[in-house]
Structure 1
């Protein structure tokens, strides 16, 4: 979380520097600066905020980076308020990034490579954080049941609860041991996030779908192109977020998304048969890939019944 927060801050700060006039060029070897990135960063949508949207992203990533350091690994019990605020900062912001990415071809009709990178950095932060929020919620409910701090959720939220019923974490390596055992520390940092081949295939299918309109020569302003751009972005979002085991159930959202992608190109103007057939094949494949649950390695107490 700390590393991804820093990476997101670097990218957002770079975009903000252009929007605020400190630099006059943004690197974009894929879509081009004048043809893509400049159009997005100077669009009316980018200027609808009181401040630069890149600057707003940099501020958000700054808080995420700093909040990643606060508290111990047991802060879900000792600092529930911190986990709640961190979850609010990470999860809604991650989804907001995806909305902004989808708006590029729909509203601005251009792409921005660095904007896509910022969204790509934010997306995995959601499954990495959501299990801590689930742990915090379960602890507060259990502490209230035990009448910790008089059974007041308000006090438990701000002051934490007792460790009664908890077991000491013996398997997680300390962060300070990163130089000596980097692989062990890295693996521990992504516990709770697994990578079933079905979700990986769905994510790559969504990415392919986003590029299909350009590959088949569909005008970016045509409604048929929006099916590939928006549908692909949503499929990728669902697939990556649901790599978090506690939200694995959300993969079923890709079933209606896949069916919509399979059907809508045939009903939209500006489509061609080869594009519609490709969307149908990808959409039906994504819907089928959403059915298996995939591997589950961790235990989540009362939440286990929702991991299926």
Structure 2
């Protein structure tokens, strides 16, 4: 089988087929770098947004000199970057505008914007700038295969990304709503389950320890996650390894940190937050849904480095893959099956559902048995971690993570004896722990194929 991911020498000018004038195929990274010069109309949108920012503070009454100067200077920077892109033919200036967009998302938090108008304006303009400078720019069409070698489906289809975008948008709006309370724009936060639990958490010393609104930071993170869901085309796992890596970092490790902060709420604050729980549960599914694309990207980098490319070069430039090398012979899912395609790579066997049920039971058991103190904290933490592990393990490439529930089950069985629980609570913990250990043994059916990663699905 010919290795189609070897380094391609490029020179001359790119034509419409992704080739230079010498007929050599350009690498995806080279094509994306030059693409802003082919879509100059976008720069006029960025320049317009910059002009809007310059005059917005006086029109909307920011009531903050720092916010006013931030928007004026940022607006002028956007105008300058747009002008440089158009007249100096510098594509880097266009992509630099994306960084300015991220700053606009953060500025109202850094300067504690005193008015909702300032917060909303910077958030909307920041999102639009990122969309113009990066999202639209990087959705260029690229030829070549979209299904990784040895895989039964493409992990980067629009259908695969739709749930990620939807969950990211929900997290964004929920976090922004809570940030509005922390920043003083609204007087109360609705919580249908825990009463004033959300307000207690948002006003707690844990939240106060952050230099800016922690809910606002969550909104920024969710906004970036949702926007990154739109980035790139149907083969971005091979054309944009750097983006898939950053997306994976934002969603998987950083996302799990967000989940851990929610898990510790009853321990540190003494209550739960409904919107926090829903956002955290959504984040767990985002982690599960992201895992396969990250694995495909790692396979691409492994293939390219084996072919002689440096890891640094492959990371930024991506690689090509011929149709002959793509997918599985006669066993590749068709992309037109879009609704079902949203959850390719995800399967929920009965034992993971049962593990979820046990985890939820552990979380509820302190309320059922009226226990408190260290035992209640232990049950809350263990149950939350069990649920987190079970959800992430629904991703077939991450199925081996189910074994994390083995030590958690052992702890659930032992903790009641250590903390002196009542008899019923003790035996409840023992039964739950033993069940978790047993439920963590079977792997279940794996419906899809994952190339070189298949051997790690145990």
TM-score normalised by length of structure 2: 0.62
Q: Which moved more, 1:151-160 or 1:60-69?
A: 151-160
Q: Is the 8 A contact 1:227 1:265 kept in 2?
A: no
Deviation for aligned residue 1:170: 6.3
| 1:275 corresponds to 2:438 | no
2:334 is the alignment partner of 1:189:
no
In the TM superposition, 1:121-132 aligns within 5 A as 121-132=282-293
Residue aligning to 1:157: 315
Matches within 5 A, 1:113-262: 113-147=274-308, 151-164=309-322, 166-167=325-326, 171-173=334-336, 184-219=337-372, 222-262=373-413
Partners of 2:451 and 2:326 in 1: CA distance: 13
Q: Per-residue displacement from partner, 1:93-135 (whole Å, max 9, x unpaired)?
A: 2211221122111111111111111111111001110111111
1:7 paired residue number:
170
Contact 1:259–1:287, Cα closer than 8 Å, also in 2:
yes
Q: Deviations over 1:222-241 (max 9, x none)?
A: 00101210000010011000
Note the aligned Cα RMSD (angstroms). Answer: 1.4
* 1:124 partner SS: helix
The 8 Å contact of residues 98 and 233 in structure 1, kept in 2 or not, is answered as: no
Deviation at 1:299, TM superposition (A): 0.6
Which residue of 299, 303, 306 maps to 2:453? 303
Distance 2:305 2:192 in 1: 55
Please list every run of at least 4 consecutive aligned residues from structure 1 whose deviation after the TM superposition is greater than 4 angstroms.
Answer: none
Residue segments in structure 1 that go unaligned for 5+ positions in a row = 174-183
Deviation, structure 1 residue 172 = 1.2
From 188, 206, 225, give the equivalent of 1:64: 225
Aligned pair in 2 of structure 1 residues 228, 301: CA closer, same or farther (>3 Å)? same
Q: SS of the counterpart of 1:129? A: helix
Aligned to 2:444: 294
**Match status 1:26 vs 2:189:** yes
The 2-side partners of 1:18 and 1:185 are apart by: 39
Worse-superposed segment, 164-173 or 104-113: 164-173
Contact 1:143 1:162 in 2 (8 A): no
Displacement of 1:146: 2.0
The superposition leaves residues 32-58 of structure 1 with CA deviations (integer Å, 9 ceiling, x where unpaired) of 11xx22211111111211211110110
Paired residues of 1:76 and 1:135 also in contact (CA < 8 A): yes
Provide the secondary structure at the position in 1 that maps to 2:192.
Answer: coil
SS at match of 1:46: helix
1:167 Cα deviation after fit: 2.1
Q: Is contact 2:259–2:283 with CA below 8 Å preserved after alignment?
A: no
1:80 aligns with 2:238: no
Cross-structure match for 1:51: 212
Note if 1:110 corresponds to 2:263.
no
- What's the TM-score once normalised by structure 1's chain length? 0.91
Q: Distance in 2 between matches of 1:170 and 1:91?
A: 26
1:41-85 deviation per Cα after TM superposition (whole angstroms, max 9, x unaligned): 111111211211110110001101110001112111000001000
The 1:251–1:80 alpha-carbon spacing in structure 2 relative to 1, beyond 3 Å, is same
Question: Between Structure 1 and Structure 2, whose CA radius of gyration is higher?
Answer: 2
Q: Distance in 2 between matches of 1:17 and 1:249?
A: 40
